[in-house]
Structure 1
């Protein structure tokens, strides 16, 4: 098995967890399977860098002296807002030489500035997706997924999603059992699927200001299989259906139907990932009624069926 060299790019204002999160995953893989990875860090001049949290990181050397890696990892952080032009020049020259390009959080902004995301799909932290799309129109920005793979380029969303992406890469490089052992050691999911939304339904929607609407939001979350028609929810909020639908959208940013759809999909996904319940049972528990209705909802939102979703992303049982 060939050893893969990973080079983490360091710079002042880097987010420390963007570096250490994925690094812990790859270091765990190296301990599990010696010879699988060689991990290096480098800054522009080889000097220490100060992270956005105040932690000082001492790199292994300078980027100018680094050999071309198998995987180049570019983290994000406050330092991406006004990056050193020399860093962008280095990425532009050396990025294409890596067999695999990876960014964590706003590291995608650095890759885009170097022209390495042109014509590709990418994501970044939700707060910077609009900026990435506006500043780099040649990049197809996908704001929802926690990470996006486009051939040899992989970009991830905010902070902890770098761990999810690193686990996915370890599973690809080695195997699922190695990734599972690392996930257990780090006490994280084996990996959240890349197309999982950056926000849960509750976080994606605004919290309603009025108590009756907040209570309805909570009730929907706790009873995805209940009667969630507008008429029923309006009665629970003691409002007319028309007034309820208008107020709900004004205060949460989405229609009641859209909110119900997201809650039900999220609930079904959790059951598929975390339980051995049958598809028919999950369809009932999620409020879909029939497996076919759930299948249509999954195909519409995720482009895959519930059975395929489980096959690809359900963690293997502990041995």
Structure 2
């Protein structure tokens, strides 16, 4: 039987802790047997878990018998990890134990040094902090999970379910994983990555900046099919000067800034209206449906149709058959 040990540190996020417990414990093989034995361990008998405290029966010695160690996230990922936990995880890794993190649990795994030089992910909200703390790790914040073989990391919340189902498929095959997915009311595979859950930031309009009038004009006219030459003419600059000054003030180019403003508007329309995808693309300023779809997928990580399926509110959808 495959032994899964979930490590609970002080401040553990209850959802992250419960995910592997529920998913692995409910797995059944075709003969009805249970392939996983799941337990929780901690460095102390009691662990704070947000609104409540949990009592843990097993200490860190349980990690010595684990086939897979799951690392849930903690509410304050920058608080550090006790040295005894770091040592226990490194010892387990030396024995070949598989170690996987959920959400900000990637901070725990990265603290051990086991992710150095490897690709990893974490919740997009914590991505900048992770990148600053662990520059030696190749962070990819746009995916749901990363499988390096022995070490795996996943993004926030529901991505922990994706990772657990992936591990079940690795261990037991697709049929068993599909049954586990149905029990969790989850697809076995989801389209896109974290990018579809990250609303692109509204391009900044710095107050008092000499570029502020132009940026506000761009915002008001984002629905037009503007060219770089038109933008430069309005700003009374050459295109070369415009690009240079624009990057100095915003960190990006005029057209990239404009594309993100358009996509943000498109996301809002996809969520709140029943307009067709093609009509929305035209309304936000894209010259063709193909250009809109390509740009949307590049920025958001999924298609407009799939984005709408995931995030549309309860509105009347009478005319979006073209998707």
Please indicate, yes or no, whether the TM-score normalized by the shorter chain is above 0.5. yes
Contact 1:17–1:160 (8 Å) recurs in 2 = no
| Structure 2 alignment gaps of length 5 or more | 271-275, 311-323
Partner of residue 55, structure 2: 58
1:41 is displaced (CA, Å) by 0.6
Equivalences, count: 286
Cα deviation, 1:14-47, whole Å, max 9, x if unaligned, reads 12222123433334435996413222110124x1
Contact 1:207–1:251 (8 Å) recurs in 2 = no
Counterpart pick for 1:24 among 19, 22, 25: 22
| Structure 1 residue 119 corresponds to structure 2 residue 117 | yes
Contact 2:6–2:71 (8 Å) recurs in 1 = yes
Partner of residue 177, structure 2: 175
Partner of residue 41, structure 2: 42
Aligned pair in 2 of structure 1 residues 86, 263: CA closer, same or farther (>3 Å)?
A: same
Q: Pairwise mapping of residues 81-230 of structure 1 onto structure 2 (< 5 A)?
A: 81-172=79-170, 173=173, 174-176=176-178, 178-184=180-186, 191=190, 193-194=192-193, 196=195, 199-201=198-200, 227=225
1:93 is displaced (CA, Å) by 1.0
Describe the SS at the equivalent of 2:100.
Answer: strand
Q: Normalized against structure 1, the TM-score is what?
A: 0.63
| Structure 1 alignment gaps of length 5 or more | 272-276
Contact 2:7–2:40 (8 Å) recurs in 1 = yes
Contact 1:14–1:76 (8 Å) recurs in 2 = yes
1:131 is displaced (CA, Å) by 3.9
Q: Greater Rg, structure 1 or structure 2?
A: 2
Taking the aligned partners of 1:227 and 1:301, their CA distance within structure 2 comes to 19
Contact 1:295–1:305 (8 Å) recurs in 2 = no
Taking the aligned partners of 2:182 and 2:205, their CA distance within structure 1 comes to 35
1:163 is displaced (CA, Å) by 2.8
How large is the Cα RMSD of the aligned pairs? 5.1
Partner of residue 67, structure 2: 70
Q: Normalized against structure 2, the TM-score is what?
A: 0.62
Cα deviation, 1:52-109, whole Å, max 9, x if unaligned, reads x132122241121444323211112126513211111111111343543211222222
